[in-house]
């Protein structure tokens, strides 16, 4: 089975590539896709570049050009829920786009006609994540992740996103990957390790913790790959 692993930034996929052997490079649509074998799985790994458009392009390319049948996202996020601290892992149960706004036409935030405010992650992959967490003794939290084309470094904006969508964490790609996978009927899983609290220190914290939190997320992705491989 072909499994896709995406990040948004090089730092998010480097700890994944570092653990693979016989990696091959493919260039498609201005991006590089890395393929390798992991157990019985064919992996496709790429960083999309930041934001909803690039991440949607990468997710769609993984499905269309590489035949990806499960898509895992590994990366970092800003915490909204005060119980989430730097380095904590959160798996999205559902995702939304906090910057999608046609409320002028009477629609709720995050909604456009023929779309939905929340897209749910694959229950089966969430189950497998739980199994991976139990096996490794790693604490994995679950929650709502809000996505938007904004780096949030503002308490007020963060609070609004939390209150409007019931979101626990925010980032810039997961909601777009969710829309693509939902439309293409590909089970997906969005994992994030907290790098900052989306507050006035967020820029500083993000730079300080991007590498260590990316590594935590990547390590968990390998635990999940082992569970997926064994279920084959």
Is residue 196 part of the annotated active site? The answer reads yes
Q: How far apart are CA 103 and CA 84, in angstroms?
A: 30
Residue 168 found at the interface with ligand ADE (CB under 6 A): no
Bridge partners of 26? 33
Residue among 56, 71, 77, 90 that touches ligand ADE (CB under 6 A) = 77
Cβ-contact 116, 175 below 8 angstroms: no
- Reference 188, options 114, 117, 120, 116; nearest CA is 120
226 scored as a contact of ligand ADE (CB under 6 A): no
CA distances from 184 to 71, 96, 97, 188, 213 (A): 11, 17, 18, 11, 30
Residues constituting the chain: 232
Q: Is 88 in the site for ligand ADE (CB under 6 A)?
A: no
Q: How many residues bind ligand ADE (CB under 6 A)?
A: 14
Residue 160 within binding range of ligand ADE, rule CB under 6 A: no
End-to-end CA distance of the chain: 8
190 to 209, contacts with ligand ADE by CB under 6 A?
195-196, 198, 202, 206
Options 14-22, 71-79, 112-120, 179-187: segment touching ligand ADE (CB under 6 A): 71-79
Under rule CB under 6 A, residue 161 binds ligand ADE: no
13 part of the interface to ligand ADE, by CB under 6 A = no
Give me the catalytic one of 88, 173, 182, 196: 196
Is 173 tagged catalytic?
no
Radius of gyration, alpha carbons of the chain: 16
Q: Is 91 in the site for ligand ADE (CB under 6 A)?
A: no
Triad 192, 223, 137: Cα angle to 5°: 85
170 lies in the binding site for ligand ADE (CB under 6 A): yes
DSSP state for residue 164 in the 8-state scheme? H
Catalytically active residues, by annotation: 12, 196
**Residues contributing to the site for ligand ADE (CB under 6 A):** 76-78, 151-153, 170-172, 195-196, 198, 202, 206
């Amino acid at each position: 089975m072909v499994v896709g692993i995406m990040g948004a930034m090089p730092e998010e996929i480097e700890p994944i590539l570092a653990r693979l052997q016989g990696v091959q490079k493919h260039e498609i649509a201005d991006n590089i896709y890395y393929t390798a074998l992991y157990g019985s799985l064919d992996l496709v790994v790429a960083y999309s570049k930041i934001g909803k458009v690039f991440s949607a392009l990468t997710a769609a390319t993984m499905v269309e050009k590489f035949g990806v049948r499960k898509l895992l996202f590994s990366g970092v996020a800003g915490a909204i829920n005060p119980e989430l601290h730097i380095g904590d892992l959160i798996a999205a149960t559902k995702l939304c786009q906090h910057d999608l706004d046609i409320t002028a036409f009477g629609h709720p935030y995050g909604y456009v006609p023929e779309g939905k405010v929340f897209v749910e992650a694959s229950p089966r992959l969430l189950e497998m994540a739980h199994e991976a967490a139990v096996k490794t003794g790693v604490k994995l939290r679950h929650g709502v992740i809000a996505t938007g084309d904004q780096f949030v470094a503002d308490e007020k904006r963060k609070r609004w996103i939390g209150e409007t969508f019931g979101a626990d964490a925010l980032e810039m790609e997961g909601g777009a990957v969710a829309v693509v996978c939902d439309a293409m009927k590909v089970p997906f899983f969005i994992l994030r390790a907290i790098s900052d609290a989306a507050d006035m220190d967020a820029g500083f914290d993000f730079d300080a913790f991007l590498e260590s939190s990316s590594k935590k997320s990547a390590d968990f992705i390998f635990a999940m790959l082992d569970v997926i491989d064994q279920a084959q």
